[in-house]
Structure 1
């Protein structure tokens, strides 16, 4: 997983990768709505139908949780949290403020790799105090060929490419993710970009969350996910990068950004 940074040696390596990675060019995508975590990236997101006076929500990866990665099959709902997030300026060069979580609304690494933090501020509060609007979280399946920007709040870097296709099952160590997004070569995401929003460059809306890459060409091991098709055939794609779809999240949220896994249309895994 392109997830967290452990120790100075890895941080130095990651910094080198950042400097040597191809410079992204995003004509319309900015860092507005992006946040930096202590070990990952994230974003302030809002389903279109959610009112601005609802508690705001930060989207990241399940494997970016402060206490560590959920076990396969584990689903976390309503867990207290006081984690803080730095809101970035549009150019990504500075923080315009800090927001704080009250709880983890939902998190899992089963079928997908997401964490949803509820904040103490509403969307309206954040826009008024920091002039940061939320990114819209769409409720429709992404399409192959869509140009995307992976916006890393941790590295203050935008990685641009497009969607190559979708993976029936992505296996990494003991975790299995379904219908994952595979990027075309060119999105050179690195450690710390985990949890970055995958933004549709045509619309500026969030269609996924960045989560992993095959680093060493290994088969289905940690940091080396493999693709498994409907017939059980395994394909290893060295250096390919992946994200998880997020279109299923809005159907599982109430208008107050509480999780309701029994709502009609909600397909997220239950505890």
Structure 2
């Protein structure tokens, strides 16, 4: 999880010079609906009940916001923003165009590391203009052993592996995340800039999480060196381990109109209160 400024902010010209992963004809997942931010990656997503006329959404990490890292316990809700987001072509070799974030629907770095941008464009707008349909956020807990694909819009690179297991608590510097997703290596040795990439179940093509960090040098619970903490408080460090965070919790915090309601009974996302 690089410090703000730890990953270069790429201009359109700089980004266009990065070579893309070659997509095999048999590949189950490509760069469709994948987003490049100036400092991170993301995905164009929808809820299971989203309407085509709804404002579209982009999923990334809470630590990828222009505003910088959010303090533990802090949430951002319905914050007006203006941010340009590049929508990749399915082969990743070029941008189809720029989408415009109008607000942060929800963002936090507590329990999970996620941010949902609400766009000016609707799903209909994007499909008509670019021929792209959004990825669906899964409402179910991910399953260990499932094959996953992690497409990074920033690096135009695709990672493939499976879910190894779930970590009770993952601690990095002053942040703590719950039930984190550990990737089974090799295949998903993610790096800075891949933050915010959607974790896609290769079989269902649903987004089951969001990529966010990895242990770079074997450090213990420090920045860029997260550690695992089990139910008994035992700490484990695995150098070069990479992790993602879960996003299905958001479904327990939506009202009947698919609007965020953090005081809804059963909502498990931090409310910042």
TM-score under structure 2 length normalisation: 0.90
2:12 aligned partner: none
1:116–1:257 Cα change, 3 Å: farther
Q: State yes or no: 1:189 paired with 2:190.
A: yes
**SS of match in other structure, 1:82:** strand
1:221-269 deviation digits (Å, cap 9, x = unpaired): 0000000001000000110000001111233234665321123442110
1:166–1:44 Cα change, 3 Å: same
Q: Bigger CA drift: 67-76 or 249-258?
A: 249-258
2:218 aligned partner: 217
Q: Which runs of 4+ in 1 moved over 2 A?
A: 2-8, 22-26, 250-258, 262-266
Distance 1:31 1:3 in 2: 26
2:57 aligned partner: 57
1:251 aligned partner: 252
2:11 aligned partner: none
1:6 deviates by: 3.5
- Structure 1: runs of 5+ lacking an equivalent: 9-14
- Structure 2: runs of 5+ lacking an equivalent: 9-14
1:190–1:180 Cα change, 3 Å: same
Distance 2:96 2:23 in 1: 23
- Is the Cα–Cα contact under 8 Å of residues 137 and 250 in structure 1 kept in the other structure? no
TM-score under structure 1 length normalisation: 0.91
**SS of match in other structure, 2:222:** coil
- Is the Cα–Cα contact under 8 Å of residues 2 and 213 in structure 1 kept in the other structure? no
Structure 2 counterparts to residues 1-271 of structure 1, below 5 A: 1=1, 6=6, 27-186=27-186, 187-254=188-255, 258-271=259-272
| Number of matched pairs | 261
1:120–1:109 Cα change, 3 Å: same
Distance 2:82 2:149 in 1: 29
- Is the Cα–Cα contact under 8 Å of residues 164 and 182 in structure 2 kept in the other structure? yes
Question: What do you get for the CA RMSD once the two structures are aligned?
Answer: 2.1
1:174–1:33 Cα change, 3 Å: same
1:12 aligned partner: none
Distance 1:107 1:27 in 2: 32
**SS of match in other structure, 2:82:** coil
Distance 2:61 2:179 in 1: 16
Distance 2:162 2:57 in 1: 26
**SS of match in other structure, 2:49:** coil
- Is the Cα–Cα contact under 8 Å of residues 145 and 163 in structure 1 kept in the other structure? yes
1:53-98 deviation digits (Å, cap 9, x = unpaired): 1111110000000010000111111111101101111111111111
1:173–1:248 Cα change, 3 Å: same
Distance 2:202 2:260 in 1: 28
Distance 2:39 2:81 in 1: 16
- Is the Cα–Cα contact under 8 Å of residues 4 and 69 in structure 2 kept in the other structure? no
Q: Bigger CA drift: 24-33 or 222-231?
A: 24-33
1:149 deviates by: 0.5
